[in-house]
Amino acid sequence: MYAMSVSTRLSPPRPHHLALRGAMMLGVLGIATAAATARAEPSPALDRASISVGAFSADPRINIGADTQFGRIDAPESNPSHTTIPRIKAELLIGDHHGLAFDYYRYDKSYTPTLSGQTTINGQPVTGTASADADLKLDLAKMSYRWWLGSGNDTFGIGLGAAYYNANLSGTATGVVNNQKATARDSIGEHAFAPLLEVGWRHAFTPDLRMYAEASGIKKNGGRINGHIYGGNIGVEWFPFKNIGFVADYGISKIKLHRDSERDADLNIRLTGPSAYVKVRF
């Protein structure tokens, strides 16, 4: 018996530490900046500094193909059940119209597709189809510089920055080879930086009731990893307390990446669903 796993990486080393450090750093800077810019009057749709912690209730659609040490593995589109993805966001306003934003989430769930295509195990073609028992991990962290236009109840933003992503897929494939059951393991993983572009709109019905819409695009060309990550969401914020509020939105993330090397790999993921956060503003 042999072992085989398939993996794909897209996030920073120690992603949980990165998320917490990024959010804490923005929070500390936000307190200092708020004191230094106390006289400024930004749009009521914006906060001087904020941290949002919550979860994305996602409906995933996943398609993966990869060259392994045992041959080509292709998995048709899979629709795993709803999953909850932890997410953390932080924002810092510098002056009235400029700021920084941080966003991080992690997908880490089991993945059990039925394999198709020219699947081989231990170098031999599989008779019929094969199955996989795998674990898919996807981390995405974004940091951007934002410029906000307008100071009334409506404000429009443009953001430029970078994303660091890491994907890893590892598991075991099982199928029938020469009329006998065979098993193999392998793993594939990659990570990379990519430029980030964001646009957004925010409206304040009152300083404590607001609405927003955001969209972002990450495009990676050159090197071993190519592809794009697109996303967007629309939501509302409500602050029943001066500095503590609740956020609810609905969003979509589309991830399509290709690894071009001696062992090619393709990763296609679509995540859609609602999110909910507790937001603290300073």
pLDDT tens for 44-77 read 999 999 999 999 999 999 988 888 777 777 777 8
How many whole angstroms separate alpha carbon 89 and alpha carbon 243?
A: 16
Q: Quick one: CA dihedral 270, 90, 101, 46, positive or negative?
A: positive
pLDDT value of residue 55: 97
Q: How many CA atoms lie within 13 A of 51 on its CB side?
A: 15
pLDDT category of residue 35 using cuts at 50, 70 and 90:
very low
pLDDT value of residue 137: 92
pLDDT value of residue 13: 46
How many whole angstroms separate alpha carbon 239 and alpha carbon 249?
A: 15
Which residue type occupies 83? T
Which residue type occupies 21? R
Comparing 216 with 186, the larger pLDDT belongs to 216
DSSP state of 3: -
pLDDT digits (tens, 9 = 90+) for 101-120: 999 999 998 888 888 777 88
Q: Per-residue pLDDT for 1 more than 50?
A: no
The helix (H) or strand (E) run that includes residue 41 is none
pLDDT digits (tens, 9 = 90+) for 193-233: 999 999 999 999 999 999 999 999 999 887 788 899 999 99
Q: Per-residue pLDDT for 136 more than 50?
A: yes
pTM, rounded to two decimals: 0.79
Which residue type occupies 44? P
Specify which of 68-72, 148-152, 246-250, 253-257 reaches the highest per-range mean pLDDT. Answer: 246-250
Q: What percent of the chain has pLDDT over 90?
A: 52
pLDDT value of residue 32: 44
